[in-house]
Amino acid sequence: MIMDVGDKTDVVASLILRAERVVALTGAGISTESGIPDFRSPGGIWSRYDPDEFSFQRFLASETTRRKYWEFSRDFYPVVANAKPNAAHLALAELYRLGKLHCVITQNVDGLHQKAGIPEDKVIEIHGTLLFVVCLDCGKRYPRDEIQRRVTRGEIPPRCGACGGILKPATISFGQPMPAREMRLAEEAAASCDLFMVVGTSLVVYPAAALPLLAKRSGARLVIINLTPTAHDNYADVVIHGKASDALQKIITLVKAKMR
């Protein structure tokens, strides 16, 4: 029997209520509704820019690349800084407040889960964050707004005020090693949960795409909510193809009704 979306959201709500430890993995599809462009989809940012041009190796090796990178980042950052959490972010935050969400693993760099009300230590940012800048030489971290003001005044590329080293937004670029601490925490969360929810990611970018499979192998139920089919739909217990905000709003409404 083929379930409609309403039936599926009801099943997901029941899975959440029965679960002891729910973990969510989120991607660009949860933030596009907040006006943040997707990078990889047709018409996304990487259809207008060459991602190889912004590789970590080129960033380190070339002053010209660093200048281009910072010009792009200067123009893109206000979109992120001014974005507001949408209904999908707020639904996950409500799930946390209800005591049903252990943590969020996110591929996004926008900080919208924290803005929605999920505590900083419950958001694992495996691709880093655009809200801070780090010196690649001495490790000093700066609030992005401070560096953005310097860049807007024409200091491109900016340099570290402490050591004169190379500054880079605290995001993970192509070719840059994944953050060891965050990946360890993400893998531990996936391996120890009993319900793993994928929201707004097509599951083609590794190592993030391996996390649902790790959760499944460890005995968790797997729910996938994405606008289009993903690479792991066949492994999921429930798949919902639709907007993250619509699905999660329905799910959280059902969870709260069933908790009464």
Closest CA to 247 of 173, 197, 213, 195: 197
Active-site residue, 127 included: yes
Output the six-digit token pair for 52.
């190889």
Angle at 224 between CA 223 and CA 227, to 5 degrees: 155
Q: Distance between CA 259 and CA 140 in Å, rounded?
A: 46
Q: 161 to each of 61, 73, 122, 256, how far by Cα in Å?
A: 20, 19, 31, 50
Q: Are 113 and 147 in contact (CB under 8 A)?
A: no
Closest CA to 150 of 167, 138, 137, 165: 167
Q: Are 38 and 44 in contact (CB under 8 A)?
A: yes
* Residue of 89, 102, 127, 232 marked active site: 127
Q: Distance between CA 151 and CA 145 in Å, rounded?
A: 10
Q: Which amino acids are annotated catalytic?
A: 127
